[in-house]
Amino acid sequence: MDEFYAEDVSMQENTESPTLGRAANLEREEAFMSNVAEWERYEVVAAAKDDRTFTETMIEFIKKDGAHVTMAEVTRALWSEGRIVDERFYHG
């Protein structure tokens, strides 16, 4: 996150309120990762145009409570000066 995300990045999950700032988003990501016991798949397909990128990701993992999670996610990112300044996740 230090390399690719702006200090004031905004990240949003579906229709939830965005999380603002790199530090807050790093904390959110660390909380998510603390529940993953084992990754089974993380497959990314990407597209880019100008300052906008889209990635399609297939994710499978097992949480620490033993639950198996399968997700399809599309991420839209806006870039400025080589860093992501706004990101939104769409998943089901």
Label residue 82 left, alpha or beta by phi (over 0 means left) and psi (-120 to 50 means alpha): left
Encode the chain (92 residues) as per-residue pLDDT tens digits: 999 999 999 999 888 999 999 999 999 999 999 999 999 998 888 889 999 999 999 999 999 999 999 999 999 999 999 999 999 999 87
- The β-bridge relationship of strands 68-80 and 83-91 is antiparallel
d(CA 92, CA 75): 12
CATH of the domain at 39: 3.10.450.50
Residue with tokens 């620490």: 64
Q: What total of structural domains would you count in the chain?
A: 1
71 lies in which domain range? Answer: 5-91
SS3 91: strand
